[in-house]
């Protein structure tokens, strides 16, 4: 199975690059299952029902979120009715929505997607490791599901790496989101789990993590309260990762970063896994 995961979508520019390129990437890379992190898609803060459906129409099978999931309040009344939209799994019991779900690809293979949110420098939610452990115990890879994906939405690289090793051998891939900068550590861990600390964002990289430079620079250099941060609107880059799995075990055989459009050097893994 080939799984494509696109990192945090930031603002209109990020939405446009995903909607433009995701259908082409699915065809060119023979993608079986596609995931998009959409938590910054609505003008940089949260996501709406309409944006979710635009991603689904472009070819996303699942949309994950993170700490900005509730910034567009309308989603609180919509998320229970949309099983393809996930919020962090380690929110307290009774929170609207779901933190994991099992989906089916076009060939009938079952794919588990679960999204823990980190606690270092983030909101103090429930233990993400315990939450993931409980889900994986109920959905063993290679038996209950044919693939399993973990989107660890966290600030600290150490916490993301710890989640990768915690899940190694139990899931197909662990990828990090939230920090909006692609890391250079894409690898298959010793137990067979594909891993990358952060996928990077789908957004304008002539920015400060997707936001317009002027306001962000003023906050750092003048230490004065400024206006609301606005998403940068220039040409965007789609950043993500492509993973290939073994259908018998569900473990990864290869991982490659993917970059298309905008300012960053293009990387499309033709001939993958090579």
Active-site residue 68, yes or no? yes
Question: Could you give the 3-state DSSP secondary structure of residue 155?
Answer: coil
Q: What angle do CA 255, 261, 1 make, to 5 degrees?
A: 30
What pairing do the DSSP bridges indicate for beta strands 147-153 and 173-177?
A: parallel
- From 68, 139, 153, 178, the catalytic residue: 68
What residues contact residue 59 under an 8 Å CB cut-off, 6+ apart? 22, 23, 26, 31, 34
Q: What's the CA angle centered on 202, arms 211 and 23, to 5 degrees?
A: 150
Between β-strands 194-196 and 187-188, what pairing exists: parallel, antiparallel or unpaired?
antiparallel
> Could you tell me if 53 and 82 are in contact, meaning their C-beta atoms sit under 8 angstroms apart?
no
- Active-site annotation, residues: 68
């Amino acid at each position: 199975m080939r799984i494509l995961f696109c990192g945090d979508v930031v603002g209109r520019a990020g939405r446009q690059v995903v909607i433009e390129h995701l259908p082409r990437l699915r065809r060119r890379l023979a993608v079986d299952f596609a995931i998009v992190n959409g938590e910054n898609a609505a003008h940089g803060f949260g996501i709406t029902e309409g944006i979710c459906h635009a991603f689904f129409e472009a070819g996303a099978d699942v949309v994950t979120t993170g700490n900005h999931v509730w910034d567009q309040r309308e989603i609180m009344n919509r998320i229970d009715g949309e099983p393809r939209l996930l919020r962090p799994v380690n929110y307290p019991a009774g929170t609207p929505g779901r933190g994991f779900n099992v989906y089916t690809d076009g060939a009938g293979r079952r794919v588990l997607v679960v999204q823990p949110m980190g606690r270092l420098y983030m909101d103090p939610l429930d233990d993400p490791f315990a939450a993931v452990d409980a889900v994986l115990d109920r959905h063993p890879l290679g038996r209950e599901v044919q693939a399993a994906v973990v989107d660890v939405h966290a600030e600290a690289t150490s916490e993301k790496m710890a989640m990768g090793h915690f899940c190694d051998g139990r899931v197909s891939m662990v990828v990090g989101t939230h920090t909006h900068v692609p890391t250079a550590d894409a690898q298959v861990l010793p137990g067979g789990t594909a891993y990358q600390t952060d996928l990077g964002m789908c957004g304008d990289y002539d920015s400060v993590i997707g936001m317009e430079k002027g306001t962000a620079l003023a906050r750092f250099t003048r230490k004065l309260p400024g206006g609301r941060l606005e998403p940068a609107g220039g040409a965007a880059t789609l950043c993500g990762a492509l993973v290939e799995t073994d259908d018998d075990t569900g473990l990864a055989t290869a991982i490659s970063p993917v970059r298309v459009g905008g300012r960053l050097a293009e990387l499309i893994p033709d001939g993958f896994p090579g």
